[in-house]
């Protein structure tokens, strides 16, 4: 049976949606794609990249995860030693200093805690003080600020920013019943996604029937919401150039597809990404852009008939 921390990773990416058959690619992609498969494991999920081209993710052979760093400039994998005393370790992000964040599952498989791992391999485990049983870091910037989400008695998840220097948490989007905070820029800008009930919708519906918006939180706390191509939208990565990546549900074929956008500053935005600019991994049933480097290299995961694979997408 799939362990709890692996299940939460899957839920947060959207991989639980049943994919439809892959459609023909009629538009020439603006990206050059490289598939990443962690040796010896049945599936691979990739989540983060730093500006040095180091990619982090997890090989998966149910029910176990195998965290790794992939050096894209060398084409080599390095195992990340799991944290002793826990049943599973998953890596989700890495900054330019080599600091990683992710989650660990307790031996009795009842509690998920976050961790910060230094470049020399030292782990620090932490939990949000208001979490019931789950704290899930998803991003880390070069200042060491951490983003993620935690569970709650009343809603599915609450996003947070964690400052380990002061050991303080800032909760995000309190009116949403399902928030994921993930990408965080060097400036402290955060991106993620939130689901809202109609009564709490901050954008009066826009055109998205699912009421799931991507969002950008500025350093002063101002939040900008947006949707891509009128559908369910999840923002996942941001670089210091202000480019945001994530994925949306394409209502034409039922596939999740990646995007890269820049926002104009208004509170609620409905954006259109042209077919040729959509990040759609060839042969995939659905794909999920998760991170972006300063140079515009995008990483994520793609599903096909054989399971999940990591990918690197380089602008052509």
Could you give the CA distance from residue 36 to residue 64 in angstroms, rounded to a whole number?
18
pLDDT of residue 17: 31
pLDDT of residue 204: 87
pLDDT per residue over 154-201, tens digit each? 999 999 999 999 999 999 998 999 999 999 999 999 999 999 999 999
- pLDDT tens for the chain, 316 residues long, are 344 444 344 445 443 333 323 333 445 678 999 999 999 999 999 999 999 999 999 999 998 999 999 999 999 999 999 999 999 999 999 999 999 999 999 999 999 999 999 999 999 999 999 999 999 999 999 999 999 999 999 999 999 999 999 999 999 998 999 999 999 999 999 999 999 999 999 998 888 777 899 999 999 999 999 999 999 999 999 999 999 999 999 999 999 999 999 999 899 999 999 999 999 999 999 999 999 999 999 999 999 999 999 999 999 8
Tokens of 133: 């049983």
250 contacts 234 by C-beta, under 8 angstroms: no
86 contacts 131 by C-beta, under 8 angstroms: no
pLDDT of residue 19: 32
308 contacts 15 by C-beta, under 8 angstroms: yes
Q: Smallest Cα–Cα separation from 49: which of 303, 297, 314, 310?
A: 297
pLDDT per residue over 26-68, tens digit each? 456 789 999 999 999 999 999 999 999 999 999 999 989 999 9
pLDDT of residue 206: 87
Tokens of 134: 């789950």
Say if strands 158-163 and 146-150 run parallel, antiparallel, or are unpaired: antiparallel
Q: What secondary structure letter does DSSP report for 154?
A: S
- Report the predicted TM-score, pTM, of the whole model to 2 decimal places: 0.91
285 contacts 309 by C-beta, under 8 angstroms: no
Residue pointed to by tokens 């799931």:
212
**Domains defined along the chain, listed by start:** 4-18+37-315 (2.120.10.60)
Could you give the CA distance from residue 264 to residue 281 in angstroms, rounded to a whole number?
27
Could you give the CA distance from residue 283 to residue 280 in angstroms, rounded to a whole number?
9
Say if strands 223-228 and 268-271 run parallel, antiparallel, or are unpaired: parallel
Say if strands 76-79 and 64-71 run parallel, antiparallel, or are unpaired: antiparallel
């Amino acid at each position: 049976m799939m362990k709890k921390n692996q299940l939460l990773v899957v839920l947060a990416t959207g991989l639980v949606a049943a994919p439809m058959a892959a459609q023909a690619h009629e538009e020439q992609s603006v990206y050059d794609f490289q598939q990443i498969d962690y040796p010896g494991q049945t599936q691979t999920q990739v989540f983060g990249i730093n500006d040095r081209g180091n990619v982090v993710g997890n090989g998966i052979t149910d029910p176990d995860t195998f965290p790794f760093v992939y050096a894209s400039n060398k084409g080599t994998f390095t195992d990340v030693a799991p944290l002793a005393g826990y049943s599973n370790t998953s890596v989700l992000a890495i900054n330019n200093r080599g600091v990683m964040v992710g989650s660990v599952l307790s031996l009795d498989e009842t509690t998920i805690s976050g961790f910060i791992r230094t470049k020399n391999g030292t782990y620090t485990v932490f939990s949000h003080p208001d979490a019931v049983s789950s704290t899930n870091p998803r991003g880390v910037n070069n200042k060491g600020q951490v983003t993620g989400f935690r569970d709650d008695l009343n809603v599915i998840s609450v996003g947070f920013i964690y400052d380990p220097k002061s050991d303080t948490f800032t909760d995000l989007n309190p009116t949403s019943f399902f928030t994921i905070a993930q990408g965080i820029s060097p400036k402290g800008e955060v991106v993620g996604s939130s689901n809202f009930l109609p009564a709490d919708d901050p954008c009066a519906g826009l055109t998205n029937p699912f009421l799931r918006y991507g969002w950008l939180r500025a350093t002063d706390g101002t939040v900008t919401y947006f949707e891509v191509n009128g559908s369910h939208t999840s923002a996942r990565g941001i670089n210091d150039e202000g480019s945001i990546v994530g994925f949306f549900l394409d209502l034409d074929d039922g596939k999740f597809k990646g995007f890269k956008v820049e926002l104009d500053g208004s509170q609620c935005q409905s954006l259109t990404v042209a077919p040729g600019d959509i990040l759609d991994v060839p042969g995939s049933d659905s794909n999920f852009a998760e991170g972006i480097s300063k140079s515009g290299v995008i990483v994520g995961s793609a599903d096909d008939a054989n399971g999940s694979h990591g990918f690197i997408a380089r602008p052509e």
